[in-house]
């Protein structure tokens, strides 16, 4: 039996390895060589797309894809490609959310945001390019030999990243900040916060876990288990994020903190209090661990990931 300390070490090693492999894949995918059907890859746009995807990030979403897929012995390079596609979506959303017209952030992962490093037009277009590239990647035969699996990956990503998922969640978030109508922040009820967070942050995390099941041709029970794990993990992730906004340190977190309180929009921390939010976070971690029961010992690394999400400081 593995000790918790040993599992935590294995988790950290896997997280590092997968981050490195994802970085290498993105570096290749965003390389100078044109793909068949492309006319040219404009250097300035390429540079901006590389700036926003390479050289940073925990690559937690790719980690979830690769580790979920590993439960079914999926060839690692396939899962890395799906992880890279998902990271393109995640990174594009950060570039667009940081824009002056949106969250107006100057700092991201301790570096200037894309529109600060380049300019607004380049930032907008580089986001559009990354969003489009994600679907290019998922459509490649290297992702899976069966076209039916690839199209399922495309369909689910589009649904989770679009108006009923991530993009819709960002819209709800801006509305809660009072950006529309009378211009006043709209303090949300608990169920409204849960919907917003499930869309804005949860949808991609859930997709990461489902994608692993899709790649692995999981049966119904296994797939439901990973879907449940992904959903609960997403909730834990967001509560931890809200706690960091209150208790975190800007230098460690790598972006501006205390913004939620300034915005007066509701979070689970403002509704439940610090202790209430922490209790809820602990409950979600337990639930995430329990959802992995069908996988026995093979689920240990994903269980450690749930604990990591709750304990992270950045």
Find the shortest distance in angstroms from Cβ 314 to a copy of itself: 27
Residue among 71 and 231 whose Cβ is closer to a copy of itself: 231
Residue among 99 and 263 whose Cβ is closer to a copy of itself: 99
Find the shortest distance in angstroms from Cβ 17 to a copy of itself: 28
Residue among 24 and 101 whose Cβ is closer to a copy of itself: 101
Give whole-number Cα distances, 107 to 80, 116, 123, 131, 177, in Å. 28, 9, 14, 21, 20
Stretch that binds a copy of itself, among 76-84, 114-122, 243-251, 287-295 (CB under 8 A): 114-122
Residue among 37 and 296 whose Cβ is closer to a copy of itself: 37
Q: Which of residues 137-156 bind a copy of itself (CB under 8 A)?
A: 138-140, 146-148, 150-152, 154-156
DSSP letters spanning 1-52: ---HHHHHHHHHHHHHHHHHHHHHHHHHHTSSSPPTT-----HHHHHHHHHH
Q: Is 261 in the site for a copy of itself (CB under 8 A)?
A: no
Q: What is the DSSP letter of 145?
A: S
Find the shortest distance in angstroms from Cβ 247 to a copy of itself: 28
Of 4, 31, 75, 162, the one binding a copy of itself by CB under 8 A: 162
Give the x-and-dash track for 184-203 against a copy of itself (CB under 8 A): -----------x--xx---x
What span, in angstroms and rounded, lies between the C-alpha atoms of 196 and 169? 5
Q: 239: part of which helix (H) or strand (E)?
A: helix 220-247
Stretch that binds a copy of itself, among 113-121, 211-219, 268-276, 300-308 (CB under 8 A): 113-121
Find where tokens 């979830």 sit. Answer: 64
Q: Which of residues 79-108 bind a copy of itself (CB under 8 A)?
A: 92-93, 96, 99, 101-102
What span, in angstroms and rounded, lies between the C-alpha atoms of 141 and 87? 19
Q: Is 134 helix (H, G, I), strand (E, B) or coil?
A: helix
What span, in angstroms and rounded, lies between the C-alpha atoms of 51 and 118? 10
113 dihedral zone (left: phi>0; alpha: psi -120 to 50; beta): beta
Q: What phi and psi, each to the nearest 5 degrees, are found at residue 278?
A: -65, -40
For the record, the structure tokens of 34 come out as: 């044109």
Longest dimension (CA), the chain: 59
Find the shortest distance in angstroms from Cβ 241 to a copy of itself: 18
Q: Is 258 in the site for a copy of itself (CB under 8 A)?
A: no
Find the shortest distance in angstroms from Cβ 71 to a copy of itself: 22
Find the shortest distance in angstroms from Cβ 63 to a copy of itself: 22
Q: Decide if 107 contacts 115 (C-beta within 8 A).
A: no
Which residues are 112's β-sheet partners? 107
Which residues bind to a copy of itself, rule: CB under 8 A?
Answer: 34-42, 44-46, 49, 92-93, 96, 99, 101-102, 119-122, 124-125, 127-129, 131-133, 135-136, 138-140, 146-148, 150-152, 154-165, 167-168, 170-172, 174-175, 179-180, 195, 198-199, 203
């Amino acid at each position: 039996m593995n000790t918790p300390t040993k599992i935590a070490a294995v988790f950290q090693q896997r997280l590092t390895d997968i981050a490195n492999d994802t970085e290498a894949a993105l570096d290749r995918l965003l390389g100078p060589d044109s793909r068949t059907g492309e006319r040219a890859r404009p250097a300035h746009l390429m540079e901006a797309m590389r700036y926003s995807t390479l050289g940073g990030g925990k690559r937690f979403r790719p980690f979830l894809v690769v580790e979920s897929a590993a439960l079914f012995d999926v060839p690692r390079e396939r899962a890395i490609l799906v992880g890279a596609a998902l990271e393109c979506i995640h990174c594009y959303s950060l570039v667009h959310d940081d824009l002056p017209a949106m969250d107006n952030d100057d700092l991201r992962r301790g570096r200037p945001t894309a529109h600060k490093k380049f300019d607004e037009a380049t930032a907008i277009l580089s986001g559009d390019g990354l969003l489009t590239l994600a679907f290019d990647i998922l459509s490649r035969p290297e992702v899976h030999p069966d076209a039916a699996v690839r199209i399922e990956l495309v369909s689910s990503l589009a649904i989770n990243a679009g108006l009923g998922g991530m993009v819709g969640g960002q819209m709800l978030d801006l509305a809660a900040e009072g950006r529309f109508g009378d211009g006043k922040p709209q303090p949300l009820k608990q169920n409204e916060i849960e919907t917003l967070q499930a869309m804005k942050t949860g949808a991609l995390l859930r997709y990461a876990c489902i994608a692993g099941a899709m790649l692995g041709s999981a049966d119904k029970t296994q797939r439901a288990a990973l879907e449940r794990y992904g959903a609960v993990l997403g909730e834990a992730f967001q509560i931890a994020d809200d706690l960091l906004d209150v208790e975190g340190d800007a230098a460690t977190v790598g972006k501006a903190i205390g913004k939620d309180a300034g915005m007066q929009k509701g979070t689970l921390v403002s509704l439940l209090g610090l202790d209430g939010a922490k209790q809820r976070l602990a409950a979600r971690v337990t639930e995430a661990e329990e959802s992995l029961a069908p996988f026995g010992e093979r689920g240990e690394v994903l269980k450690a990931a749930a604990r990591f999400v709750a304990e992270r400081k950045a």
